[in-house]
Amino acid sequence: MESNTDGAKEQVCLEKDGQKICSLYERLQRVPDRRKERGKRYQAAIVLTLLVLAKLAGEKQMSGIAQWARLRASWLSEVLPLRSGKLPCANTYQYVCDHIDKEVLDAEVEAFTASNAAKLPQAKAGHKHKWRQLALDGKVLRGTDRQAAPGRDAKMVVSAYEVQARRVWKQAQVEKKGQEPQAALNLIEQVDLQGYVVSADALHTRPKWCRAVRQQGGHYLLIVKGNRKELYEDIALLFEAGPLPDLPEQRAQTVDKKHGRLETRTLRISSALTDYLKPGWPDVAQVLQIERRVTRGGKTTCECAYGFTSLASHEATPHQVIEFIRHHWQIENVLHWRRDVTLGEDACQVSRGQTPSVLVTLNNLVLFLLDRTGTRNAATTIRSFAANPAQALALIMTLNL
């Protein structure tokens, strides 16, 4: 990766084919800063840039980010417009995060990742069929949970993760405990879902949610559990009876052998219940059973789950449906797990104000930038950036992402 930070002190933006193309740094400059002018020593865009830069180099806590920047004060003063040549303390980072316009920050980050998503190595490989997938799920910020005062809920966000582009498409904060389904519904109602299949777990298996996805032009794929007992029993009964001539079904299977285990997934999918379920479940087209059989160390375990989708058999093959089910878990394995472990989100001690939510947005952005490099191991790339931070700065300042 080439690193070129020449001209970094200037606003980075240009016109190409009638469209304005902006670097991440230029987009961060658009985020309104609500601090009072008096005593405003550091531009908000600079503080946000330092946060992203330090996170790309492996720093996880505010104190570590502040020290990392101060140890590189001479170099940073050369490549960033620091008025005094000094770097912020840890409290300044949090104060700036608490006073920027978070909605604008989210919008600018979403626009940046959208404009660069097609250039990701992962986006160019595989996923040849016409549907793109959004995986929807919520996540509690564990650091705020541990620090929450009695009677105060931990902070939580719900995200729509675009699987092929490996980016957070949209994100919303959950205001109170138990309001994740409503937050997810509000998020869905804001976006155009043409060409997308939205997958979600059983918490979101609600007629109103299904209707919203279809009204926005998308398709849904949902898991059914005990919270929808009657629906669960109807689907289970169909597949327990086995294939019957008057109840046709299709099948697909995948087999993976890695990490010392053999995993077989078998999908059975049928349109036999479509007319029966449609009065209560808008546009349902097929119901499904997914069986996961894992053999490790001579021991075999078997799990069975049920679900349904608005995709008809002519719109997606059984192999595509089983692919959607598997890829749904990328929101856990590729997004949430890496935020928690690689970026230390669970261990973060910041719990007050809007800073925890701002850090979530920045963590999403950092993972997108890491994936932009084509890495298969984020921790390895972070160590590389720690040794050569100019490479990380090039991702933020340059246009050729």
Structure-token pair, residue 108? 């600018």
In sequence order, the β-bridge partners of residue 286 are 309
Q: What is the pLDDT of residue 152?
A: 60
Q: What is the pLDDT of residue 385?
A: 95
Q: What is the pLDDT of residue 21?
A: 59
Q: What is the pLDDT of residue 235?
A: 95
Q: What is the pLDDT of residue 257?
A: 86
Cα angle: 268, vertex 294, 342; to 5 degrees = 105
Which runs of E-coded beta strand occur in 201-331? 219-224, 250-258, 261-270, 286-296, 299-309
Given the structure tokens 């990766």, which residue do they identify? 1
Q: What is the pLDDT of residue 16?
A: 45
Q: Residue 177: which H helix or E strand, with range?
A: none
pLDDT in tens, 159-184: 999 999 999 999 998 877 788 999 99
Q: What is the pLDDT of residue 400?
A: 54
Q: 246-273 as b/e, with b when 16 or more CB fall inside 10 Å?
A: eeebbebeeeeeeeeeeebbbbbbbbbb
Q: Residue 397: which H helix or E strand, with range?
A: helix 389-397
Q: What percent of the chain has pLDDT over 70?
A: 88
For the chain, which residues score pLDDT lower than 70?
A: 1-21, 118-129, 143-153, 399-401
In angstroms, the CA 361 to CA 27 distance is: 14
Q: What is the pLDDT of residue 348?
A: 82
Structure-token pair, residue 127? 């996923």
Model pTM score: 0.88
Q: What is the pLDDT of residue 124?
A: 46
Count the neighbouring beta carbons within 10 Å of the beta carbon of residue 74: 8
Long-range contacts of 329-332 (CB under 8 A, 24+ apart): 329/135, 330/135, 330/161, 330/163, 330/166, 331/135, 331/136, 331/137, 331/159, 331/161, 331/163, 332/137
